[in-house]
Structure 1
Amino acid sequence: MTDAAEGSVRRRGRNETEEERADRMWTELIQEVRVAQMGVQILFGFLLTVVFQPKYDDLSDADQTIYLITVVLGAVTTGALIGPVALHRLVSGRRVKPRAVRWASRLTVLGLVLLLATTACSLLLILRVATDDGFVPYLVVGVVFWYLLCWFGIPLWTRYHHTSR
């Protein structure tokens, strides 16, 4: 190919080794996890205090069950979103970063799904306590749909329509 022809060829992607790509992806992943971790830690911390409030005893059995499910979801979500940090620390220096990035990415996506469930249950509980209206389940479903759209729908649509094949 001539220099002129090479100049007209449009390059796609980055010119990086597998290790360089893993380093970059790890850095990006950790920045993303920090945002999600902050949200789940604040929510989980709040949830842990509810049981110690005098009004907790006044909750119906159904609301107490929703609360317990929400707390367990919060704990599991926290584990999934902190998992990538532990994974990195325990495999650091073992030359498995590309595999570690894949596992950390899976844990992060799982953490986002669990965060969605935790947030939905929290919203359900709060709205059930705040109002007796029958629209609460519909409102929660609407919020869950919004989260699904923002967190998964738009990113997957973008991935499908704008990823070079």
Structure 2
Amino acid sequence: MALDPSAREANIRDSIKRYFVQNLYDTEGLEVMFDKSLSTPNLVGKAVDRWVVVNFGSMELGSSSELYLNIFVCSRQDAEGFKLAQTRDKVVGCLSDTTKTDSMARIPFYKSSATEAWTLIGALIVPEVVEGPQFEAEDMTKYKQLTVRLFWSAKV
């Protein structure tokens, strides 16, 4: 028996990737990587001084499903952490929605396909973003971790 589209991990991951690429890379020009821990983007001929890494965490499927994302906001050549703060603001901005009465962002949730047009099937709701302190790695990379909780209804 096939999984319902609302319970398919591929749909969840593809929807999240699409959202962050559209909102951070396409709109803000920030490099975005997925499941790479604290890796620095390796782009030939381009120096990167701020980027975002989205790591997929634990997931619990049920009628009320839940997924945790660990997002690392990173900067380099940033003595006072100003670039880090600007980048953090852009990331948190796309994880909240002040136009809604509940302030929770909705990430469009698609049934994805490599060969057909994607179909919108719902939304992944962002009820909580927990922000960690600022750290500095040995290579002078400044970073913050945002733990993001998402939930949605799934047919399991």
**Common fold: TM-score over 0.5:** no
> Greater Rg, structure 1 or structure 2?
1
Higher strand share: 2
TM-score, normalised relative to structure 2: 0.27
Higher helix share: 1
